[in-house]
Amino acid sequence: MNAMKIVLAAVFLSLLIAPVLGAEYVGSDRCKTCHKDIWEDFMKTGHPYKLRPVDEARQGNEEFGIRKVTELPNGYTWDDITYVIGGVWWKTRFVNETGYIVTGNAVQYNLETGQWVPYDPDEVAKPYNCGKCHTTGYNEDGHQDGLPGIVGTWAFPGIECEACHGPASEHVANPTEVKPEVDTSSALCGKCHVRGDPSRIPASNGFIKHHEQYNELLASPHKDLSCITCHDPHKSVKNPMVDDAIKMKCEQCHGDVAKEFAESEMAKEGVECTDCHMPFAAKSAVKRAEFEGDIRSHLFRINTDPSAPMFTDDGKYTAGGYLTLDFACLYCHTDKDREWAAKYAVKAHKFEEEEPKPTPTATATPTPEKTATPEQTPTKEKQKPTPGFEVLGAVAALLGAIYLLGRRR
């Protein structure tokens, strides 16, 4: 081969490689200077903290409302832990010094209850193969930090800006000439908020499994909406410091329903659209009650047939793209049953009984307003009750309401 050919080949090769080399992951800190507001919002979400080296997790990020991880599984010291998985909103799991996930009978910490629960107690050496959804710039080859238990490598742990916008070194060097990717489809979020085949919805132990918002959305009446029609992609729905993460509310598209519902007794008691249409039918860490997990559903549609099944016979999938009345109503109305709910649910959103029949069963929360339609008993009357039995009734109804509302969180 002569020299000329070698030079030409080298030039040709470098041209081929240049765009690849140029597109490198630089990390979210590099975006802060020019996109300060977005960066500050993003730092309040769970995304960047999803997987953290142990020291960072123990430090937390108080400024942005992110807790310090102080819990440590029994029998371990901090030196035995390399990475902390989550521990932001639902549960904490740990990666040990060789890169395997800590498994056993009391190794997962549930934030809501402060309890240690089992995680795969039968698996002794469980590889950390979760990087696809928990890191940025993931590559399934190799072992991050040379730890044999970790499957693959990454540019950054956690979900950084570039997990959604692609490697942005060229943009940082030349912001106006080179634009990063902006994918507005729900498939973007569906790369991670998904479980298995998105055309069905896996379940177990009486709940929809977690991280399957994409599967649910596709089965719902909102399949043509994008996640970001409702969500601001840079804002947290979990962080109490943030209250405008949902940029498009139900009322904005369903004005007529909202108007009708506003007249109902429940609306006056503070019940919201999401309480029935996005109940906690999915579970990540904690089962709060028989029909209440700890993750809101994105199925939206309620099946008002009291005999409709929520799950397939083997319990492994949802039976359809809907919620049953036990998940939509009975997690609040714990002393009622599906038949009761069905009577009121058919006339959404007034929640009056369709054919008023005398109810034979005594209810735990006496409701004096049963004798009148909700419109005729404005809430004011509850605050200034008339003497006698009605006082007792109203007090009981109020206590019931406080109890039911208390159950909402």
What residues numbered 88-107 form the site for ligand HEC, per CB under 6 A? Answer: 88-91, 93, 101
Asked if 229 touches ligand HEC (CB under 6 A), the answer is: yes
* Binding to ligand HEC in span 18-37, by CB under 6 A: 26, 28, 30-31, 33-35
Q: What is the CA radius of gyration of the chain?
A: 26
SS (H, E, C) the chain: CCHHHHHHHHHHHHHHHHHHHHCCCCCHHHCCCCCHHHHHHHCCCCHHHCEEEHHHHHHCEHHHCECCCCCCCCCCCHHHEEEEEECCCCEEEEEECCCEECCEEEEEEECCCCEEEEECCCCCCEEECCHHHHEECCECCCEHHHCCCECEECCEECCCHHHHHCCCHHHHHCCCCCCCCCCCCHHHHCCCCCCCCCCCCEEECCEEECCCHHHHHHHCCCCCCCHHHHECCCCCCCCCCCCCCECCCHHHHCHHHHHHHHCCHHHHCCCCHHHHHCCCCEECCCCCECCECCECCCCCCECCCCCCCCECCCCCEECCCCECHHHHHHCCCCCCCHHHHHHHHCCCCCCCCCCCCCCCCCCCCCCHHHHCCHHHCCCHHHHCCCCCHHHHHHHHHHHHHHHHHHCCC
CB of 388 to ligand HEC, least distance (A): 20
Of 388, 354, 349, 348, which Cα lies nearest the Cα of 368?
388
Asked if 328 touches ligand HEC (CB under 6 A), the answer is: yes
Rounded to whole angstroms, the Cα distance separating 63 from 271 reads 32
The number of residues that bind ligand HEC (CB under 6 A) is 117
Q: Which of 143, 200, 211, 287 binds ligand HEC (CB under 6 A)?
A: 211
Asked if 319 touches ligand HEC (CB under 6 A), the answer is: no
Contact region with ligand HEC (CB under 6 A), list: 141-149, 244-252, 313-321, 388-396: 244-252
Asked if 271 touches ligand HEC (CB under 6 A), the answer is: yes
Asked if 50 touches ligand HEC (CB under 6 A), the answer is: yes
CB of 270 to ligand HEC, least distance (A): 7
CB of 18 to ligand HEC, least distance (A): 19
Asked if 261 touches ligand HEC (CB under 6 A), the answer is: yes
Rounded to whole angstroms, the Cα distance separating 69 from 50 reads 12
Q: Which of 152, 157, 233, 393 binds ligand HEC (CB under 6 A)?
A: 233
Asked if 283 touches ligand HEC (CB under 6 A), the answer is: no
Asked if 321 touches ligand HEC (CB under 6 A), the answer is: no
* Binding to ligand HEC in span 142-171, by CB under 6 A: 159, 161-165, 168, 171
Contact region with ligand HEC (CB under 6 A), list: 2-10, 54-62, 211-219, 376-384: 211-219
Which of residues 89 and 311 has its CB atom nearest to ligand HEC in the complex? 89
Q: Which of 84, 201, 217, 299 binds ligand HEC (CB under 6 A)?
A: 217
CB of 14 to ligand HEC, least distance (A): 24
Which of residues 311 and 368 has its CB atom nearest to ligand HEC in the complex? 368
* Binding to ligand HEC in span 356-385, by CB under 6 A: 365, 367, 370
CB-nearest residue to ligand HEC: 46
CB of 278 to ligand HEC, least distance (A): 6
Rounded to whole angstroms, the Cα distance separating 359 from 276 reads 24
Q: Which of 176, 205, 371, 376 binds ligand HEC (CB under 6 A)?
A: 176
Q: Which of 23, 24, 38, 396 binds ligand HEC (CB under 6 A)?
A: 38
Asked if 251 touches ligand HEC (CB under 6 A), the answer is: yes
